């Protein structure tokens, strides 16, 4: 074989595409690999790069490299990495260039897959937070700090997702998320971006050229899309969401700030009861700041013993005799003064501090019972309130058991009040914990009975000891009860299950009398006593706290 024949074999057999170009850009010769990528279309190689090619040929640049998309003969897309080098005539005049082309379709495809993986959520296949924020960043850069009333971030947060997960299991939780994702995808406009930005949170980047009505319309469509029930196996579940909106104004420069404000609005919508929309404003930001401050204070306050219990007696409606008490938490805030639980318990729950509070309450309660026992020799009874997140923590059970042992308190002395709007379902974590606590001897009472949604279910399922009729049924206009028929119905129900009933919030004699005639035997309320300090309680009911022997002598 001649030298020339060798070269021709190398040229044609090379894995790289090779093309020899004349100085006007036309392809003089090419090998098989090149033709496999570009076919016979000789203009395709320099498309959009003519000027640079001219510079290379004329010696104004030394190298020309780029990557480009090509269409293979059969119309199949591929990617090529092209590198050009100048070729001279023997006398030094520019001749043209030689181009080496590598097929990088495989590399590009893996890059695309990796990028997709990084920017999409595997469960729903939707874009993820990273993608969402980069789209938001793009939009902010485009707006260049000008007023953009028609750009907004809607954050859609599924209400009670943790409960759904706990009650129906993780598979069902994932099913709910993917269904919600699909529904959201179907209500947004083609211009909008919808992404899964958290476990139970979606983001919608609403863009519109008309006006802010687009945003409101989107929020409305979100609610109506979620209104349809979901079928979870044999069950039908209604899912709602809290939607926080941050309208992007010229004051925003960073995507993070828009996201933070949308999150604040979402939290506001959620803490206002969920299933609603809240639009971020500066007042909300101030409140969010205060909440952060308050939760920091709470952490410090728990260490500095700023929390204490008051005790409201639970008495017989017939004779007003003391039967036990409910421990009600108070916070002596160093600056704000005395705070009732409504001002910090919900916050503690949201901030994940509720178990810490629960531990403090259990300790204070047991210490008090032990101190009364030391003084009177009596094992008195006390109700303590348990927050929903505590029922998900095994640690709550351990610390309750440990502290009762430490103070030598018998479990039946303690009644755990669980509010009725907690969803308890057979087999879920909270239910198992309640059942275990029951087996250990603690008594269980359903608080705020009548305000939740699973009343009969509870009574059937659990060995409940007592229930408390919510104050909203007890407290009616002009010192009467809100609804005597409801009270009678609740009493019949409780009788059927053999439960002890305590009426909450009795403020007048008339209410007491109506409740008594309806068959209710126990009550609690300002008519008898407000929540009291231990000393006040002992002073008010000396006989209940006296040693039995002393009792006998008096």
> Do 356 and 302 form a contact (C-beta atoms < 8 A)?
yes
Strand partners for 21: 27, 97
**Choice between 224 and 398, CB closer to ligand C2E:** 398
Task: Answer yes or no whether residue 74 interacts with ligand C2E by CB under 6 A.
Answer: no
In the three-class reduction of DSSP (H, G, I as helix; E, B as strand; rest coil), residue 372 is classed as: helix
345 is in the binding site of which of Mg ion, ligand C2E, none (Cβ under 5 to 8 A by kind)? ligand C2E
Residue 312: which of Mg ion, ligand C2E, none does it interact with, CB under 5 to 8 A by kind? ligand C2E
Residues 432-471 as x/- pattern, contact with Mg ion by CB under 5 A:
---------------xx-----------------------
388-447 residues in contact with ligand C2E (CB under 6 A) are: 417, 447
Chain positions 203 to 222 lying near ligand C2E, rule: CB under 6 A, are none
d(CA 313, CA 522): 10
Token pair 């009493």: residue:
491
Q: Decide whether 192 or 447 has the Cβ nearer to Mg ion.
A: 447
34 to 63, contacts with ligand C2E by CB under 6 A?
none
Say how many CA atoms lie within 13 Å of 397 toward its Cβ.
17
Give the x-and-dash track for 474-513 against ligand C2E (CB under 6 A): ------------------------------xxxx------
Distance of CA 505 to the CA centre of its chain: 33
Give strand ranges (E) for 280-404.
307-316, 322-333, 337-339, 382-386
- Of residues 328 and 501, the one with the C-beta less far from ligand C2E: 328
Determine the interface stretch with Mg ion among 128-136, 277-285, 340-348, 500-508 (rule: CB under 5 A): 500-508
Nearer to ligand C2E, 239 or 444 (CB): 444
CB of 126 closer than 8 Å to CB of 181: yes
Q: What pairing do the DSSP bridges indicate for beta strands 466-469 and 500-503?
A: parallel
Among 208, 277, 312, 415, binds ligand C2E (CB under 6 A): 312
CB of 305 to Mg ion, least distance (A): 23
340 is a contact residue toward ligand C2E (CB under 6 A): yes
Instruction: Report yes or no: 410 and 381 within 8 Å, Cβ to Cβ.
Output: no
Residue 203 Cβ vs Mg ion, minimum distance, rounded to whole Å: 37
Element housing 241 (H / E): strand 241-247
Is 417 a binding residue for Mg ion by CB under 5 A? The answer is yes
Residue 219: alpha-carbon gap to chain centroid: 18
Q: With contact defined as beta carbons under 8 Å apart, do 415 and 443 qualify? A: yes
Question: What value, to the nearest 5°, has the Cα angle with vertex 143 and ends 140 and 148?
Answer: 95
- Provide the binding-site residues for Mg ion, judged by CB under 5 A: 385, 417, 447-448, 504
Binding site for ligand C2E (CB under 6 A): 312, 328-329, 340-342, 345, 361, 385, 387, 417, 447-448, 504-507, 524-526, 531
């Amino acid at each position: 074989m001649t030298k020339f024949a060798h070269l021709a074999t190398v040229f044609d057999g090379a894995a790289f595409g090779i093309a020899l170009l004349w100085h006007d850009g036309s392809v003089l010769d090419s090998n098989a690999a090149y033709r496999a990528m570009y076919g016979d279309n000789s203009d395709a190689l320099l498309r959009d790069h003519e000027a640079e090619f001219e510079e290379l040929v004329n010696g104004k640049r030394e190298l020309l490299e780029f990557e480009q998309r090509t269409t293979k003969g059969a119309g199949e897309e591929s990617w090529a990495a092209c590198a050009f080098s100048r070729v001279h005539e023997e006398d030094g005049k520019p001749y043209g260039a030689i181009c080496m082309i590598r097929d990088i379709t495989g590399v590009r495809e893996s890059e695309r897959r990796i990028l997709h993986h990084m920017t999409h959520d595997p469960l729903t296949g939707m874009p993820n937070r990273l993608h969402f924020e980069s789209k938001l960043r793009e939009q902010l850069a485009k707006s260049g700090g000008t007023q953009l009333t028609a750009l907004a971030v809607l954050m859609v947060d599924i209400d009670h997702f943790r409960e759904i997960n706990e009650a129906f299991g993780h598979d069902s939780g994932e099913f709910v998320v993917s269904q919600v994702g699909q529904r959201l995808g179907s209500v947004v406009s083609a211009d909008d971006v919808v992404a899964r930005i958290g476990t139970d949170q979606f983001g919608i980047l609403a863009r519109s050229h008309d006006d802010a009505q687009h945003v409101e319309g989107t929020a409305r469509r979100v609610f109506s899309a979620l209104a349809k029930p979901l079928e979870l196996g044999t069950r039908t579940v209604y899912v709602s969401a809290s939607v926080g909106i941050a309208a992007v104004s010229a004051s925003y420069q960073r995507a993070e700030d828009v996201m933070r404000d949308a999150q604040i609005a979402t939290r506001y919508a959620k803490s206002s009861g969920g299933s609603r929309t809240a639009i971020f404003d500066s007042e909300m930001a101030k409140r969010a700041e205060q909440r952060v401050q308050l939760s920091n204070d709470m952490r410090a306050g728990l260490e500095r013993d700023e929390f204490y219990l008051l005790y409201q007696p639970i008495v017989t409606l017939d004779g007003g005799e003391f039967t036990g008490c409910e421990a009600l938490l108070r916070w002596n805030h160093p600056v704000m003064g005395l705070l009732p639980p409504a001002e910090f318990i919900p916050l503690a729950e949201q901030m994940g501090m509720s178990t810490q509070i629960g531990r403090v309450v259990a300790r204070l309660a047991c210490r008090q019972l032990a101190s009364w026992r030391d003084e009177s020799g009596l094992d008195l009874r006390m109700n303590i309130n348990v927050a929903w997140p505590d029922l998900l923590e095994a640690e709550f059970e351990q610390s309750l058991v440990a502290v009762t042992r430490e103070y030598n308190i018998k479990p039946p002395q303690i009644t755990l009040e669980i509010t009725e709007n907690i969803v308890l379902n057979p087999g879920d974590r909270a239910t198992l914990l309640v059942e275990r606590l029951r087996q250990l001897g603690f008594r269980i009472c359903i608080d705020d009975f009548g305000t939740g949604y699973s009343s009969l279910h509870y009574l059937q399922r659990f060995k409940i000891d007592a229930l408390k009729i919510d104050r909203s049924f007890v407290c009616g206009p002009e010192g009467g009860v809100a609804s005597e028929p409801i009270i009678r119905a609740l009493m019949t129900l409780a009788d059927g299950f053999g439960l002890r009933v305590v009426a909450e919030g009795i403020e007048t004699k008339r209410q007491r009398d109506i409740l008594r005639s309806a068959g209710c035997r126990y009550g609690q309320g300002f008519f008898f006593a407000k929540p009291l300090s231990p000393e006040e309680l002992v002073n008010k009911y000396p006989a209940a706290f006296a040693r039995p022997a002393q009792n006998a002598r008096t």
